[in-house]
Amino acid sequence: MLKLLSLILWGATIMIFIDHLIGYLIEGGEFLEVSPNALVLGFVMLLGALMVWELILIVKDPKGVLYKRKTKV
């Protein structure tokens, strides 16, 4: 399930890059903003991605840890 987490984080990376690029081309100024607000936003986005991934792991339960599957003998 690490492929899904990787996909989520790469999607966020591309989204943020496009946002910075368009803001830089239209408004000018700095390409990368280093401020406390930008740092908090980055952590919130990371926590959101991890929470979505954890929720998907709980629902899918790929190793059958939460929900025991019955096997035929």
Question: 1 pLDDT exceeds 80?
Answer: yes
> How far does Cα 7 stand from its chain's mean position?
8
Q: Which residue has the higher pLDDT, 56 or 65?
A: 56
From residue 21, how far is each of 9, 15, 18, 56, 58 by CA, in Å? 18, 10, 5, 31, 36
For the entire predicted model, the pTM comes to 0.73
| pLDDT tens-digit series, residues 24-59 | 999 888 888 888 998 999 999 999 999 999 999 988
The residue to which tokens 């929900």 are assigned: 67
